[in-house]
Amino acid sequence: MAERVLYGYYRSSAAYRVRIALNLKGLAYQYRAVNLLKGEQKSPEYLAINPHGLVPLLDDGGVKVAQSLAICEYLDEAYPDGVKLLPADPATRARARSIALAIAADIHPLQNPRVGKHLQMTFGADEEGKTEWTRHWIRTGFDALEQQLAEQPSRYAVGDAISLADICLLPQVFSARRFGVDLAPYPNIVRIADALEAIPAFADAHPSRQPDAV
């Protein structure tokens, strides 16, 4: 059987999502670290694999998929047995995608290292300025997300079953804590994240448990 390889970085929220998805599906994989801080994502060798120069990238026996949400949906469709990452009901599935995209498309991109580097190089932002930028956009996104979760309270983000929304939520909470965001105003987000952290598939995907963790 062809090898399944995940290219990622231990602290990348997007790679964290895919590790969770692979664990939930019970799919073994080889992990190949791409150190973002050292610029390895821009090396000719990696760009030949993923011309976008980003992580994660999944090579599933020759099927190469970039972008974490696309990877998760691919895994759900290619490996339908076991945990379903997207709910069967259209309305619930749309809600799961809505939450996932609010995190992956609105919050997360603004905290990426390349954004911070651009703020520094173009606008002269110092480390505190870059950190406050990140905190501001996490808080802005969490304000809306907390309200959305409060409108339909449930065990997990969109009900009593794990979904793509939860796969995105926990890594974003990890990032919020890493950047020192006060999470007291977000009890629903914290409650769900705490529940997810107790699940082995989520716990084993934590950045601190990855071979490239420093």
Listed by start position, the domains of the chain span: 4-83, 90-201
pLDDT at 1 (0 to 100):
54
The CATH code of domain 4-83 reads 3.40.30.10
Contact 30, 4 (CB under 8 A): yes
Residues 6+ apart with CB under 8 A from 19: 6, 8, 204, 205, 210
- The answer to whether the CB of 179 falls within 8 A of the CB of 167 is no
Residue 147, C-beta contacts closer than 8 angstroms, at least 6 positions apart: none
Helix, coil or strand: residue 126: coil
Q: Are strands 57-60 and 30-33 parallel, antiparallel or unpaired?
A: unpaired
Give the Cα separation of 152 and 159 in Å (integer).
8
The answer to whether the 4-83 and 90-201 domains have the same CATH topology is no
**214 residues of the chain, pLDDT tens digit each:** 579 999 999 999 999 999 999 999 999 999 999 999 999 999 999 999 999 999 999 999 999 999 999 999 999 999 998 899 999 999 999 999 999 999 999 999 998 888 988 899 899 989 999 899 999 999 999 999 999 999 999 999 999 999 999 999 999 999 999 999 999 999 999 999 999 999 999 999 999 999 999 7
pLDDT in tens, 91-104: 999 999 999 999 99
* pLDDT on residue 86: 97
Residue-level pLDDT at 154: 94
CATH for the stretch 90-201: 1.20.1050.10
